[in-house]
Homo-oligomer: A and B are copies of this chain.
Amino acid sequence: MADPSPIDPAPLAFQKHDHNRCRTHSVEAVEAACRARGLRLTDTRRRVLEILLQDHRALGAYDVLARLSDAGHPAHPPVAYRALDFLVANGFAHKIERLNAFVACPAPDDGHRPAFLICRDCRTVAEAAVPPGDGVLGEEARRTGFTIHAVSIEAEGLCPGCAPS
């Protein structure tokens, strides 16, 4: 079934939107990807994904852990880190390096390469899509013989909700 009004993930986080739909969409996309790729979306992993999907804020591993614990789940650090590693490794969540924290990916289905707008106040994170091609870094890498494995592009600032009026 074709989605009648596809979600545009980019600016979503900073705008009012039907977050239930947003969340459901993400969970379903992750489920589908796991089926397609033979990955095991175990109970812990699913719970962590749902915790991250509660809103578009970045959560530290220990925040995730606390929420697991509240829900009666065993809660030692490796539990959270293992689930987060799984989600990040498979593109279902992203690590925000500037915050040492994690966000669910709003569009886990396409193979995009994300850049992030990170609110330093409320930790809400929006994704912007990086156009294909490696830009400045790719050029420099070719010139110097450097092999790029992963790129992170992160902008920190204030979201419209937190900006001084």
Is A42's beta carbon under 8 Å from chain B?
A: no
Q: Which B residues are CB-close (under 8 A) to A147? A: 157-158, 163
Q: Is the CB of A137 within 8 A of B158?
A: no
CB-based contact B137/A117 at 8 Å: yes
Q: Is the interface of A mostly helix, strand, loop or mixed?
A: mixed
How far apart are A119's CB and chain B's nearest CB, in angstroms? 8
Whether the pair B153, A137 counts as a contact (CB closer than 8 A) is yes
Chain multiplicity (copies): 2
- Contact of A34 with B by CB under 8 A: no
Complex contact B154–A97 (CB within 8 A): yes
Chain B residues near A10 (CB-CB < 8 A) = 140
Taking CB atoms, residues of chain B closer than 8 Å to A159 are 144-146
Does A131 belong to the interface (CB within 8 Å)?
yes
Would you mind naming 14 contact pairs between A and B with Cβ atoms under 8 Å apart? A14-B146, A98-B152, A119-B146, A120-B149, A126-B140, A126-B144, A128-B140, A141-B157, A145-B159, A146-B160, A147-B158, A148-B156, A150-B156, A153-B153
